[in-house]
Structure 1
């Protein structure tokens, strides 16, 4: 299968699109899709289908490459990541689309190393960063343990005032929405936000990376729509935090490993 399957869970959840007119490039890959913002040279959003019953273990590799379907000038390539403290952060996590027949899994593994699926992320590791990585691991482990299917949507918050580094606006925040169907008919969703503002400021000024710069929050799905301009109405209606449209709850900061599981626990 090529691209993202909007009916993968049973309830239809299409890949996220801008709520208002905006130039984008729709790029299908094996089991996932990238919606590229050519002006910002980064993904506006990504969407991946995960089949926990068919996951395949493959070696990581590190063959990052440009996508020849779009001009190099519309992508953030290797020059932005050279000789600094920025990592090429996978948006669709490498292991998530790696399932199915061997050839299919290998194709997904290779596709995940396309620069269109990356965004600059500060390389420092502290507790909150580990919580974000723990969240990604939890999502995959959940699918694998219960042999179930998940859709995961991820992207940077592309703000107008993002600091520019080597010609590219560096996102200060990243978001993730996990969606699943408890019964094959209804939908559930949970949203998260990573804030790396302090670390980005340090790197873009070519200075020392400050400590304690990552913060991870569980937020209302609707807030992701407000931050990104994406239409998240279907997912917001399925938010495990409930309908917070009139009296939204404040973001809940995740500070301990057990906090990470709270979203998926509400099934």
Structure 2
């Protein structure tokens, strides 16, 4: 079963809506948005055929039915990534990107393998996990981000909240695909590719029968620039554009309101209550979340926020 909007009892969490500008791009090329909405096991994806990366992935996660499966149990050898035959090959990026010159980045899962690794039996969970190894579920992420802070956020959400407390959540994840994204230094099959710098996660969950949401945002802009993976950007052209999950270490640095994510992106998300609110100016938030160096990410602090932590639990 793919992503279900009524997964959380008594509430509807729809997949995000793209804005009018993005809709016009589809109309101008005679593409149908529906053709690029791809359903997998326990999650779905909307692929952006123009940027060749997904707008978002939407996953349902059931902590009670989670199955513990090691990555090595899924494939006989190394991970097996592939393109999705349901959409044109040229509308997705695979080996031609991740094996190209200066591709000093990982294939970063958007919907994490373990997130959908659930079901009533082990085989169902395995099939779901394997279905995350499509390039439509991947974006280029510098290892320091993919294996560092973003991994810690993912592990915190799944293991410290959802599985531990047998919760059900709906999780929306993606890159913010912006016009200001820098170009990869290497052309891919003679085409210039803009690499995403900002990544978000929005968690929907129930508390006392009511629907809540919370958002996380992180950036790899500084790492891409430092490692010279992207072309230099002229200064001035660069974008300067609470709840139970606040127990994550340094959550105050990476946690943002969902309206903030909407304000700098091209997506609209299902409304829900939010405990976390922050009126910090946009440029301060974006500056604070940027993973700028090889220093320990765990020591990052927002200049504009209190050093105190909020550890709200169910």
Q: TM-score, normalised by structure 1?
A: 0.84
Once the two structures are superposed, what CA deviation does each residue of 1:52-71 show, in whole Å capped at 9, x if it has no partner?
A: 00111223141111101011
**Matches of 2:63 and 2:126 in 1, distance apart?**
16
Deviating beyond 4 angstroms after TM superposition, the runs of 4 or more aligned structure 1 residues are 252-257
Q: Superposed, which structure 2 residues align to 1:134-149 within 5 Å?
A: 134-141=152-159, 142-149=161-168
Is 2:182 the counterpart of 1:157? no
Q: Secondary structure at the match of 2:64?
A: coil
Is 2:70 the counterpart of 1:54? no
Q: Secondary structure at the match of 1:92?
A: coil
**Matches of 2:203 and 2:313 in 1, distance apart?**
12
**Matches of 1:16 and 1:56 in 2, distance apart?**
28
**Matches of 1:58 and 1:136 in 2, distance apart?**
16
Once the two structures are superposed, what CA deviation does each residue of 1:98-144 show, in whole Å capped at 9, x if it has no partner?
A: 10022321221111000000000112369xx6332111101101111
Task: Find the counterpart in structure 1 of residue 246 from structure 2.
Answer: none
Is 2:83 the counterpart of 1:66? yes
Is 2:163 the counterpart of 1:116? no
Q: Superposed, which structure 2 residues align to 1:164-203 within 5 Å?
A: 164-165=183-184, 166=188, 167-183=192-208, 185-201=209-225, 202-203=227-228
Q: Secondary structure at the match of 1:58?
A: coil
Task: Find the counterpart in structure 1 of residue 241 from structure 2.
Answer: none
Q: Secondary structure at the match of 2:196?
A: coil
Contact 2:15–2:269, Cα closer than 8 Å, also in 1: no
Greater fraction of residues in strand = 1
**Matches of 2:118 and 2:270 in 1, distance apart?**
29
> Unaligned stretches of 5+ in structure 2?
27-32, 233-250, 290-296, 302-308
Greater fraction of residues in helix = 2
Task: Find the counterpart in structure 1 of residue 97 from structure 2.
Answer: 80
**Matches of 1:232 and 1:89 in 2, distance apart?**
23
Once the two structures are superposed, what CA deviation does each residue of 1:195-224 show, in whole Å capped at 9, x if it has no partner?
A: 1101122342489xxxxxxx9621111111
Alignment partner of 2:257 out of 213, 220, 232? 220
Task: Find the counterpart in structure 1 of residue 237 from structure 2.
Answer: none
Task: Find the counterpart in structure 1 of residue 49 from structure 2.
Answer: 38
**CA drift at 1:241:** 1.5
Contact 1:47–1:151, Cα closer than 8 Å, also in 2: yes
* Structure of greater Rg: 2
Q: Secondary structure at the match of 1:45?
A: strand
Contact 1:34–1:47, Cα closer than 8 Å, also in 2: yes
**Matches of 1:131 and 1:175 in 2, distance apart?**
12
Once the two structures are superposed, what CA deviation does each residue of 1:45-100 show, in whole Å capped at 9, x if it has no partner?
A: 11100000011122314111110101110001111111531100000011000100
Q: TM-score, normalised by structure 2?
A: 0.72
Task: Find the counterpart in structure 1 of residue 274 from structure 2.
Answer: 239
Q: 1:191 to 1:81 in 2, by over 3 A?
A: same
